[in-house]
Amino acid sequence: MADLRNYQGRVQTGELIDQGLRSYMLKVYNLMGIGLVITGIAAYLTTALTTTTDQSLAAGRMGNTLLTSAGVAIYDSPLRWVVMLAPLGLVFFLSYRINKMSVSAAQTTFAVYAALMGLSLSSILLVYTGQSVAQTFFVTAASFGALSLYGYTTKRDLSAMGSFLMMGLFGLIIASIVNIFLASSAMQFAISAIGVLIFAGLTAYDTQRIKEMYLENDDATTAGRKAIMGALTLYLDFINLFMFLLQFMGNRK
C-alpha cells in the first residue's frame, strides 16, 4: 500500500509539473506574440508617418519612395544611428537588469524594446514590397512553429548543437561587419544562407533551453522574469530568421 501511495504521489507531482510547464511555455509564447504585434504596428505607423505619395509634401527620397520631413530625419540623418542602435542598447539593459526589476517593469521594457525594433525595421517596408514581406512573415511563422515544437518535444539533448550555433553566430556577425566595407553580393548571399540555418537551429535549441529553465518551485516573480527572458530570446530568433529569409524571398520595390 505504501508503494502504491508513493507511486500515486509521483504521478500527481508529474501532472502538476506538466501543467505548470505548459502554463509557463504558453506565457512565453504569448509574450513573444505580443512583442511581434507591437513591432508590426510600430513599423506600419512609422512607415505611414515617414512616407508620402504627394510630391508637394515630400522632403526627400529613398529609392522610389518619397519621404516626409520625419522620414528624412529617421532614414537620412544622423538620427538613423540612434534608431538603429537604440534596440540593441535596450536589449542589453533588459538582459543585465531584469533580476533587479519587477515583472511589470520588465514587461514594459520588453514592450518598449519591441516598439523600438519596429521603428528600426520600418525601413524594410521601403525596400521590399508589402506582399513579399507578408509572404515571408507567414513562411517564417510556419518554420518557427515547427522548429520550436521540435525543440519542445525532442528527447535529444541540443546543448552541443547550441554551442556550435553560438560560435557560428559570432562568425556571422564578424562576416556581416566585414561585408559592410566589401559590399560583396556573393558574400551577402552566403551570409543570408548561413543566417537562416543558424537561427533555425537556435529556435529549436532556445526552446529546449527555455523549457529546461522551468522549475515548479519558482515563485511568481522568478517565473515571470524567466518567461520574459524566454520570450525575448524567441522573439530575437523569429526576427532574425524573418530578416534572413526576406533577403531570399523578398521582392524589392
Contacts by 21-24, CB closer than 8 A, 24 or more apart? 21/211, 21/214, 21/216, 24/214, 24/223, 24/226, 24/227
**In a 10 Å sphere around its CB, with 0-12 CB exposed, 13-18 middle and 19+ buried, how is residue 100 labelled?**
exposed
Task: Domain ranges for the chain, please list them.
Answer: 20-249
- Residue 16 contacts residue 88 (beta carbons within 8 Å): no
Stretches in the chain below the pLDDT threshold 70: 1-17
Distance from chain centroid for Cα 43: 14
Which of 240, 233, 231 is closest to 120 using CA atoms?
A: 240
pLDDT at 20: 84
pLDDT at 17: 55
Continuous H helices in 183-219: 185-213
pLDDT at 64: 82
pLDDT at 6: 52
pLDDT at 79: 87
pTM of the model: 0.89
